[in-house]
Amino acid sequence: MVSRLMRLLVLSLLVLSIASPGFAARRSSLGGNLLIKDMDEVFFFPQRVGEYNRTVTFDLGSSNGLGSGGMIFGNESVVLGAFAHRSDFIAAIPNAFFTAGDIDNVSNGGQNDFSPISSSLLGGAGPAGGPFQWFDVLLGWEGGGNPWGVRLSVGRNQDDPAGDDKEDVTSVNAMVGVTMRNIDLAGEFAIGDGTSDIAGTRTESSPSGFAIAARKTAVEQSEDLQLGWMGEFSFHSGGSDVTTAGTTTTTDESATTFVLGMGPVYSPSERTTVAMYGTFEYLHSSSDDGTTNDTGTSYIIPGWHIAGEFELASWLQARVGVESRFSISKDKTEVVGGASSESQIVDLNFRWHTGIGVNLGNFQLDGYIDPSVITSGTDLFGDSTDLFGLVSAGYSF
């Protein structure tokens, strides 16, 4: 009787979630914890694509412009994956290390805020800066006894309104990864080109960047604690030229990120894992137009990440994740021939996340529960908040 009631409850929750916005939900429910393996990591560790062979997955959005879908298929030698409209397009590596997953990117239309390629340098090109219309291909194989993988993404956006106005953006992202001695390694390179001719003002930009990452997490099911660690470094730079009435202003921009973290992982079964790690995180950005030089630096000491996935039944998992970051942010503005100014902010940022997973045979459904629902209720109890913030569905064949 209790089992029937539980199944009815879960089914009711899933029906209520259909009209909610959604992208990949499991990793977001875990707060983006990198020491718990998840299918989303094929986008920043592409060599993992072979572990999800013969899978089709859908992220169901609240409109035709929000969502993604893809399929991974192949044999024992080669595995191919094809995806469209994911939210972690450019700068996938720093995006993975600095966010809680797709919950932080759901409205970005294939862009994110961790690279000048997709934020400020190309932000003025393309309709409202985006979204990109793009296609994503992954390829995995085994070489020298180690899994290898590559990812290639091509994005484009073009708008030709009436008159002489025109906006055009093209971006290419390439990544390669390999796992050696149970250590995941990946490198990423991205390049973009954007032009905009609006109301007599022409903007041209051509940023580029690279990133590297490494990670070691639990490699097998064990009743013992295992030590996990990760590291990341990225650098993106570029310039933009804005020409108005024959006068050109050039702006040089750059962004640097660095992360190093370590902590224990406990994984006694396939659907029960607990991970905790602390991090040192560094972010630096600069912008110089020849007259004003703006720099921003943030130190996160410590960053704290705790997450757990617990098997309540053979078909049901509960998930929870916590992020806590103590940050020191410094901003400095220098003006040629003028006064300089500096500011500093010390802040503690705390966020918690939760969700559920349902497994019915080869079918998997994941839901990220909106935190406000836990304390305020849903439409069922007179509140206007959506039950689920993100919903994903997948099938293995």
- Residue 118: count other Cβ atoms within 10 Å of its Cβ: 30
Structure tokens given for 273:
């894992």
Per residue in 299-346, pLDDT (tens digit) is 999 999 999 999 999 899 999 999 999 999 999 999 988 888 999 999
Contact 132, 110 (CB under 8 A): yes
- What phi and psi values does residue 118 have, to the nearest 5 degrees? -105, -5
Per residue in 63-121, pLDDT (tens digit) is 666 677 899 999 989 999 999 876 666 678 998 999 888 778 766 666 666 665 555 44
Per residue in 347-393, pLDDT (tens digit) is 999 999 999 999 888 999 898 887 776 666 655 555 545 566 677 88
pTM, two decimals, is 0.85
Q: What is the mean pLDDT of the chain?
A: 82
User: What's the Rg (C-alpha) of the chain?
Assistant: 22
Would you mind telling me the total number of residues written for the chain in this entry?
397
Mention every residue, 6+ apart, whose C-beta is less than 8 A from residue 89.
110, 111, 112, 118, 132, 134, 136, 153, 155, 171, 173
Higher-pLDDT residue of 56 and 340 is: 56
- What phi and psi values does residue 243 have, to the nearest 5 degrees? -115, 125
> Out of 115-124, 178-187, 263-272, which region has the weakest mean confidence (pLDDT)?
115-124
